Amino acid sequence: MEKFLLENGKFDTILGADVIYTIDSIEPLFDTVACLLKEPHGQFILSRYSKWHNVDDAVIIEVAKERGLDCTRPSEGIFIFHRKNTEED
C-alpha cells in the first residue's frame, strides 16, 4: 500500500460497484478506502443493488463507521461514505 500511495497519492473520490460478495470482503475494502481517501473531504461512492450471501447493509455501514466514515444514502442501492465531521469547515 505504501508504494501505491507514494506513486499515486490519495483520492478525492473512489467509486465501487458490485464489490461486496462476502462478509469477509467488507473490512479489507474499507481499510483500503479509508487509507486512500483524501482528508477531510474524500468520498467513497458505493453502488450495491445485489445482496450477495445476504450481507446486510447495516454491517457495511458499521464497518465504515469503525474506520471514521459516515454514510448517506441518496437513493436505493447508492451509499456515499465520507469522513466524519470532527470540526466545522
Task: Assess whether pLDDT exceeds 80 at residue 77.
Answer: yes
Domain limits at 30? 10-83
pLDDT in tens, 35-59: 999 988 999 999 987 776 678 899 9
What is the pLDDT at residue 54?
A: 79
Asked whether 26 and 55 are in contact (CB, 8 A), the reply is yes
Which of 76 and 16 is assigned the larger pLDDT? 16
**Does residue 89 lie within any of the structural domains?**
no
**Does residue 5 lie within any of the structural domains?**
no
- For residue 31, what is its C-alpha cell? 481499510
What does the radius of gyration of the chain's CA atoms come to, in whole angstroms? 13
Reported in sequence order, the residue ranges of the chain that DSSP labels E, i.e. its strands, are: 13-17, 43-47, 69-75, 78-83
pLDDT in tens, 11-32: 999 999 989 989 999 999 999 9
Name the domain count of the chain.
1
**Does residue 33 lie within any of the structural domains?**
yes
- Specify the pTM: 0.86
CATH number, domain of 26, equals 3.40.50.150
